[in-house]
Amino acid sequence: MPTISQFFGILIRMYFDDHAPPHFHAIYGNEEAVLAVDTLAVVEGHLPRRALSLVLEWASLHRAELRDNWSRAERHEPLKPVPPLDA
């Protein structure tokens, strides 16, 4: 379960051999949400409103890197770290 970014207590992960469509996992404490890369819609789970807002802001800035990492994961290549959201 590679962590590709971390900010404000939020972990962003992508998994090898995960199902389509392209998505990432955002974990904050005991909460987890799965977000689609293309639409940034929550497709599963839940995050507190403030954490979700931060994840959406981060993901909108790094959508190209998320798409690239999804392709890398499909090919079983190492994932690249994505810069965190700045304070």
Q: What is the mean pLDDT of each run of 10 residues along the chain (87 residues)?
A: 94 91 97 97 98 98 97 94 90
Confidence (pLDDT) at 17 = 82
Joined together, the tokens standing for residue 9 give: 């207590």
Helix/strand/coil (H/E/C) assignment for every residue in the chain: CCEEEEECCEEEECCCCCCCCCEEEEEECCEEEEEECCCCCEEEECCCHHHHHHHHHHHHHCHHHHHHHHHHHHCCCCCCCCCCCCC
* pTM of this structure: 0.95
* Residues whose CB is less than 8 angstroms from the CB of residue 19 and which lie 6 or more positions away in sequence, other chains included: none
